[in-house]
Structure 1
Amino acid sequence: MNVRAKKQWIAGGALGAMLLGSVAMASAATADEVTHGEEDVQIEVAVTPVGALTLNVANPSVTLGESTSPEIWAAGNREFTGVLDGVSVSDDRNDVADGAGWAVTGQVSDFTAAGLPDITHDHLGWVPELANPVPGDFNVSPGLPVAGELQEVPDEPGPGGSWLEGGIQVGDLLVSAGDSAEANGQSFGVKAGLNLTVPKNTPSGAYASTLTLTLMEG
């Protein structure tokens, strides 16, 4: 191959390479995208409420001990006292309705002992108070103090306010919150001093009663 022919072959090969490259690039740039179908996918998620409004009683039993007050004995009565403690209300819900309050109420059964007359429930009184006040205004308050049927009513009001008389009745408040939303995320402890005053001639025996605490929201 002479020099001239060799130069033409080289030039022709280079041109061929350039043309091939040009064709390849033009083909990629001008290709049309074809859509063969289209479908929608719906995404759903259920954000459910979590947490709960709960009542907890750590100490399910209370033993009353007799007071040695000479004034009580002189009045013809015997007095037995104790403390209801370990009660708390907790609220860790993430979805709380505005304006809905909650309350813990009490109900007491008669005191019974085998073979002996009952001591009626209206002889039991209590003085509720918050056990672990939480800093801030959460609109949570102890219930009113209640004096038993034979209990001498103190001159001073209790933590919850002025005294009621006639013993603990169905629905008497132990503690309440005016607005669940304000108290949400907190735990409130409550306790109550208990007082059972009975006639001095009450027959000796091991008496027992049941105090039922009920947590309601409304």
Structure 2
Amino acid sequence: MSGGVVVLLAATTGGAPAAEGEPPPPGQVEFPTHCLPPQEAGLPPADGPTTARISVDDPAPKVGDTVTVTYRIAATPAVNPVASELPADVVTPTGRIVLAGAQSGEVTVVGVRRNDPVPPGAALPGVTMTGTFTVTAPGEITLAPGGYTLHTGHPADLDTACTAAGAAPVSERLTATPLPTANLRALTLGTAYGKPGARVAVTGSGFAPGAAVTVAGRTGAAETADRVAATADERGVVRAELPVTDKGTTGVVAYEGTAWSAQGGTGPAAYTVIEAATVIEAAPPSRGTRKVTAVVEPGALAMTQAGESVTLGAVPYGDGGAAGGRIGTVTVEDARGGPAGWSLVGRVTDFAGPGGVRIPGASLTWTPRCVAAAGSPSACRAGSAGTVGPEGAVLASTADGAPAGGTFTVDAGVELRVPPYTPPGAYTAVLTLTLS
């Protein structure tokens, strides 16, 4: 079967066809059906129309979402296969729904035993069946009713199999949207500090090839007057020199479009404007004395991470559940000496598994933890517990302020929610941490 993970759910019974003169329910269709009664019944095949409709719980899902589908049969040509009355609650339906368009395949659906008594020779009752499938592609997906089987459990187990005579008409449509893509843009500076008017070498990566990119200074959430235009090369790399003349500049950003955004930009990369000290002497130094000057130069903002990979726990097939683990401990060192804080953001791709099966990156959650080393001027704040996903979440940060800097240890427990009946195998994603 294609079309993703399928989970069978219990269902309620089907409804009756619309009364004469009333409009049919939305999505209701009719299609010619050929029903074969069980051989034990000694009855001829039954041919006639099936009246059915399909509905979904979410007509606009995202790729990776699980959609619940309901297949209601209001009327069938299949008849009671035994010569006596069928008692209540002995008919169990199973069926299939045909997917086409952006995603093809079949969805298996099943219903519960719930019916009124059926007289000898009378048509079998309407039924309702439900199931689920995982959306694997963006675009319009059509759902059409397929064949179904009506199992009767009295006085013996008998199956009446009904197939569509040709392709059944489409009963329901949904439009799937793609998952937001991770922002893989990155920015580095040739130096983290300089005097007013210094030209800073800026290198950016991950931009759209040929895109117009703005490189600008920033203080807090606002841009300063420092600005230069650049163009990404065929590999999406941007190189520019930014003259930093605004003494309020505490960082540098780069972005595509008319304004910075979390999806179209990167940074800020921290930058400190250093003004030359002015020494005023009341009198010339006396003979035999010497002026001694020591300079404390600002350093960089950097991080290191323990280990190269993260291995999560295993979950049993069928049950699904939470696969837990921890990211490798991250050490952040802020030796810039300026007033700017920093932010450590994580983004994760989808988890790719065997046969192209994917678990959405939004299924990964974390609980961050951050500790400042003794003597660090800044206080470290852990990000909120919750979803990581391709859009990203804050792992840890420090606020702007003076004094600033220090050494910080960052960690997080992570948990991946694995859906039931996910095919066995290893599922791998990329977690990207960006310090700015």
Q: Same fold (TM over 0.5)?
A: yes
Structure 2 residue 214 is matched with structure 1 residue 214: no
Give the TM-score normalised by the residue count of structure 2: 0.30
Structure 2 residue 320 is matched with structure 1 residue 77: yes
Q: Who is 2:303 aligned against?
A: 55
2:375 and 2:390 map into 1 onto residues whose CA distance is 31
Cα separation, partners in 2 of 1:112 and 1:215, compared to 1, 3 Å = same
Q: Who is 1:126 aligned against?
A: 366
State the shift of 1:181 in Å.
Answer: 4.1
Q: Who is 1:34 aligned against?
A: none
CA deviation map 1:80-108 (0-9, x unaligned): 00011320110123x41x2x221000110
Cα separation, partners in 2 of 1:173 and 1:92, compared to 1, 3 Å = same
Cα separation, partners in 2 of 1:208 and 1:131, compared to 1, 3 Å = farther
Cα separation, partners in 2 of 1:190 and 1:66, compared to 1, 3 Å = same
Structure 2 residue 331 is matched with structure 1 residue 88: yes
Contact 1:131 1:190 in 2 (8 A): yes
1:187 and 1:136 map into 2 onto residues whose CA distance is 6
Structure 1, gaps ≥5 residues long: 1-46, 148-166
Structure 2 residue 424 is matched with structure 1 residue 178: no
Structure 2 residue 363 is matched with structure 1 residue 115: no
1:182 and 1:198 map into 2 onto residues whose CA distance is 44
Q: CA RMSD in A?
A: 2.8
CA deviation map 1:60-91 (0-9, x unaligned): 211001368xxxx99x5321000113201101
% identity of equivalent residues: 36
Structure 2, gaps ≥5 residues long: 1-294
CA deviation map 1:175-203 (0-9, x unaligned): 0000264342x210110000001112101
Higher strand share: 2
Of the candidates 352, 355, 378, which is equivalent to residue 138 of structure 1? 378
Q: How many residues align?
A: 143
1:201 and 1:82 map into 2 onto residues whose CA distance is 21
1:50 and 1:183 map into 2 onto residues whose CA distance is 12
SS at structure 2 position matched to 1:66:
coil
Give the TM-score normalised by the residue count of structure 1: 0.57
CA deviation map 1:149-194 (0-9, x unaligned): xxxxxxxxxxxxxxxxxx535241000000264342x210110000
Cα separation, partners in 2 of 1:51 and 1:180, compared to 1, 3 Å = farther
Which has the higher Rg, Structure 1 or Structure 2?
1
1:60 and 1:125 map into 2 onto residues whose CA distance is 20
Residue type matched to 2:310 in 1?
V
Cα separation, partners in 2 of 1:211 and 1:180, compared to 1, 3 Å = farther
SS at structure 2 position matched to 1:122:
helix
Contact 2:341 2:404 in 1 (8 A): no
Runs of 4+ in 1 over 3 A off after TM superposition: 47-50, 131-137, 180-183
State the shift of 1:140 in Å.
Answer: 1.7
1:203 and 1:135 map into 2 onto residues whose CA distance is 50
Cα separation, partners in 2 of 1:67 and 1:207, compared to 1, 3 Å = closer
2:392 and 2:321 map into 1 onto residues whose CA distance is 27
